Amino acid sequence: MLQWQYSLLYKPLTVLIPQVRQQTLYNKQHVAAVAAAMEQCRLCSTGVVGKAPKQSTTPADGSIIKRVLTKVGFAPNTKARLKVASHLLYESVADKINYVAFFRDFHLSNTFNSWFLVTELHVWLLLMRSMAEGSETGEDGRFLRNCIVEAMWGDVNTRAKKLGANNPSRTRQQIETLSEQFQAALIAYDEGIMSDDKVLACALWRRFFEMECDNYAHIERLVKYVRMQTAMLDGLTREQFIVKPKIAWHDLDKCKVDA
């Protein structure tokens, strides 16, 4: 049976952690307003992150050679290649992140929900980097972002079905809940990364730690970890990130803070 934990995401992001407990929840209208504002920022991960819209892969100039290359997936910026890249990027999270270290160091329960929280955080980092590939590259970043999200939900559904095979209806409901939380988490993390460490710490405390962490050293360490990964991803070239994805995630064990 799946073990699920529900977090309260809609809380103000501009207060210190001790003050967060006293604040009221965000309402859906506020979240929608923040999401609309962040949609204007090309470096934000938020926006339409459901199924990727169908887009034509036919080159605008009508070149026969380019048409053929596009059909077989060898053109430099084909949607097919971006889709392959998105799965490789997601696999860099699912296969290379040391989940055990997160469970151990941050005292997370060994549950599906904890696995999702760790995965969600790293997927958000990928989405943020994807959006740096802006309109000058034909909205490749937006398409890549959507494909990464599709890859994640495909994996989530596969894992959840194996764990909840006896109650598929319940499993679907829980995945829908995770989807809603994921959308809100993107907004919270985006606002945190664009602000100072206090705001980012609040977002991580509310979502990743589900408001149950009283050890500020753990929160400080995760803030440092997120900043390190952000800098690493920002330093990747288009070749390293999209054409031939090479994501060398920093090991959590090497990210320490002074006690």
Contacts (Cβ under 8 Å, ≥6 apart) of 65: none
153, containing H or E segment = helix 140-163
Question: Does residue 11 sit within a domain?
Answer: no
Q: What is the pTM of this model?
A: 0.73
Contacts (Cβ under 8 Å, ≥6 apart) of 217: 257, 259
* Cα 12 → chain centroid: 20
Question: Does residue 188 sit within a domain?
Answer: yes
* Tokens found for residue 219: 């929160």
| Per-residue pLDDT, 176 | 94
Q: How far apart are CA 19 and CA 21, in angstroms?
A: 5
Cβ atoms of residues 198 and 16 within 8 Å: yes
| pLDDT tens digits, 150-175 | 999 999 999 998 887 778 888 889 99
Task: Tokens 């090479």: give the residue.
Answer: 246
152, containing H or E segment = helix 140-163
Q: How far apart are CA 149 and CA 155, in angstroms?
A: 10
| Per-residue pLDDT, 191 | 96
Q: What is the dihedral of CA 51, 54, 60, 65, to 10 degrees?
A: 100
Query: Which residue range forms the structural domain that includes residue 144?
Result: 17-254
| pLDDT tens digits, 211-252 | 999 999 999 999 999 999 999 999 999 999 998 998 999 999
Question: Does residue 181 sit within a domain?
Answer: yes
Question: Does residue 47 sit within a domain?
Answer: yes
Candidates 102, 104, 105; CA nearest to 116 is 102
DSSP assigned state of 138: T
Mean pLDDT of 134-146: 75
Count of alpha carbons within 13 Å of 175, Cβ hemisphere only?
18
| Per-residue pLDDT, 225 | 98
Question: Does residue 134 sit within a domain?
Answer: yes
Residue 79 has pLDDT above 80, yes or no: yes
Taking CA atoms, 116 is separated from 133, 169, 207, in Å, by 26, 19, 11
* Tokens found for residue 254: 């090497």
Question: Does residue 2 sit within a domain?
Answer: no
| Per-residue pLDDT, 107 | 96
Taking CA atoms, 122 is separated from 54, 56, 206, in Å, by 26, 30, 16
Q: How far apart are CA 72 and CA 68, in angstroms?
A: 6
Highest mean pLDDT among 2-16, 41-55, 61-75: 61-75
Number of folded domains that form the chain: 1
CA Rg, the chain, in Å? 19
Question: Does residue 6 sit within a domain?
Answer: no
DSSP assigned state of 240: I
**Inter-axis angle of helices 197-207 and 168-193, nearest 10:** 170
| Per-residue pLDDT, 31 | 44
Tell me what the pLDDT averaged over the chain comes to.
Answer: 79
Candidates 16, 12, 4; CA nearest to 163 is 4
Instruction: Tell me the helices (H) and strands (E) count for the chain, helix number first.
Output: 11, 0
Residue 84 has pLDDT above 80, yes or no: yes
Question: Does residue 148 sit within a domain?
Answer: yes
